[in-house]
Structure 1
């Protein structure tokens, strides 16, 4: 008889399971796709959409999902978004497993900051890529804690029960005007300059990551998307697709098709993840009603330890004000002139960007690359109050509209 006692069975850890998929499409208007997305199991160090990656049991390192919408003209936007997903994944994969939820959230913020600094540095080294940048909306998950780090206007939604809630806030001019009560949501849908964003990774050497949190419940569905989807498909239609289509692969396809049918004016990217398992509590009525955008405050010591600015080889200055960049939806400047009329105006904004973002002076006439139709325009706002920036932009739009009216009469 074996004298060694059998080891008692270890209790099974409650599981959080997710089924997911991601899809990106060039759309109907753009010539190339500047969007990127990431889906990764950090515990298995597995990244991609192989069949085994579409079903995950959340391990000790968690899971990572993200969408990045690049900008910058030519191939620069694609480079920026690819750099972002690569660096964020590398940073989130480095080191040992996070010891707690705060550490996971701090790593997410630090990874996004590091991606922004790297893109900014690459743009300084290569003049043809100056001004490139990308939005970044990234979700990191550990057990029932979902953290979202956002820069720009790509979105995250949660469907819980029959209720769809946007759990991020667009860092955009149009959203700022809505929150200030100067624009209604109905007016925002047709607002001429609803493609102006307040910050992006790579357009400055530091960013302010908006960190938010969702306590997941069993049956929740997460959707991340670029504005090529959210700008073309109404929230009610998104809700209905996520509610009625159970398979994430099919849901991504249907949503992409809907955006293309609505015009496909921009690149379209979507990631859908559905959560289940006994590691998640069932959603009560109050959980559905209280679901909302919720900021997450990290402890000060973690912010200091994980800040990119704390790395000795880095040079990061604090931003006084957010800077504004723009991704025009068609080959026109932000004031509506055609490519052939952009010379003097483009020079002016290029010089403004150079003053803000580069420490060394460059000869602009020799250094500036040819202007591309979708090159972002940086507007200097350092030291100016937010209301003044909004007033300046709205006034400029009004003046151009009036001038255009009289010229075309």
Structure 2
């Protein structure tokens, strides 16, 4: 068979593929041509839910057909001169045996650094993930094997971290970016994050923050030294201790979530979560006529509350067909 075997996970990819469809590692066809032989590796962890055995046809047919509706909006805010946030929305759909499943990659990145460094860093991150996902999504749609979304996100973000770090070092920039990314496979969502951008799970009954901010004030909240309300107004609210691109390596936090029809995933920069409370976010999302209307309402509310930072939101709503 005309395949290219991944050196990390041994998955047989199609000949000519640039990235492994199973783990996301960059595939090197000529090791002398570049640095990709040193790309970070990610061993499989069978405890991740998405690594379960492939389901049979009867099990698939027993589940509802699913679709996603997506909204997105970004704004510079009232105080900043430029928008250092970036976002990415990639959608696809898989239909087989009368079963419909959505797939997609959704990303929000909040750049950090002066002299355009922040917007460069966040832009490099989303373009790097988009480049890798260009081969990932078709492979997800065509593959019979279960797909390790956590491994792919980790390796892809680590590779982007290396690219941003090396570029900044050569250009003399001090820059980095946060990232929240959701890889959707039917009702299974894998969440990856670095920094203080957030992912919320929202439905009719609740709003739940799925990520933990890598920030000074979040550490104080966890230690019960300040309240959540005090954290929003804390003078060091913008101090974060982990970003993509400011160090040679980065640790990516992961979380797997199984969604139900009616569930929504909200990805946002701290220009939203730092300006309005979770309860208001919940109410605005539920009262909106569509995900796009909700995104516009959220950004408008952040600006009405002061608009102290760039604000970017992506809302992914899972629906039964």
- Give the count of matched residue pairs: 253
C-alpha distance in 1, partners of 2:224/2:282? 26
1:108 matched to 2:160? The reply is no
C-alpha distance in 2, partners of 1:67/1:168? 13
Deviation at 1:99, TM superposition (A): 5.5
Alignment of 1:115-134 (within 5 A): 115-127=160-172, 130-134=173-177
- TM-score with structure 1 setting the length: 0.59
Q: 1:135 aligns with which of 153, 167, 178?
A: 178
Q: 1:157 to 1:122 in 2, by over 3 A?
A: same
CA contact (8 A) 2:176 2:246 kept: yes
Deviation at 1:249, TM superposition (A): 1.2
Deviation at 1:88, TM superposition (A): 1.2
Q: 2:69 aligns with which of 19, 32, 35?
A: 19
- TM-score with structure 2 setting the length: 0.74
Cα distance per residue 1:90-113 (max 9 Å; x no partner): 223335336655522211111111
Cα distance per residue 1:82-135 (max 9 Å; x no partner): 1101111222333533665552221111111111111101101111xx211100
RMSD: 2.0
Deviation at 1:58, TM superposition (A): 3.9
Corresponding residue for 2:82? 32
Give the structure with the higher percent helix: 1
| Structure 1 stretches of 4+ moved >6 Å | none
Q: Which has the higher contact order (CA 8 A, sep 6+)?
A: 2
Unaligned runs of 5+ in 2: 1-56, 95-99
Alignment of 1:160-239 (within 5 A): 160-239=203-282
Alignment of 1:4-403 (within 5 A): 14-41=64-91, 58-59=101-102, 62-94=103-135, 96-97=139-140, 103-127=148-172, 130-277=173-320
C-alpha distance in 2, partners of 1:100/1:72? 41
C-alpha distance in 1, partners of 2:181/2:67? 19
CA contact (8 A) 1:42 1:92 kept: no
Q: 1:195 to 1:100 in 2, by over 3 A?
A: farther
CA contact (8 A) 2:232 2:275 kept: no
CA contact (8 A) 1:66 1:85 kept: yes
Deviation at 1:230, TM superposition (A): 0.6
The DSSP-based 3-state class of the residue aligned with 1:111 is helix
Give the structure with the higher percent strand: 2
The DSSP-based 3-state class of the residue aligned with 2:148 is helix
CA contact (8 A) 2:295 2:314 kept: yes
CA contact (8 A) 1:92 1:111 kept: no
C-alpha distance in 1, partners of 2:230/2:117? 32
Unaligned runs of 5+ in 1: 1-9, 45-56, 279-409
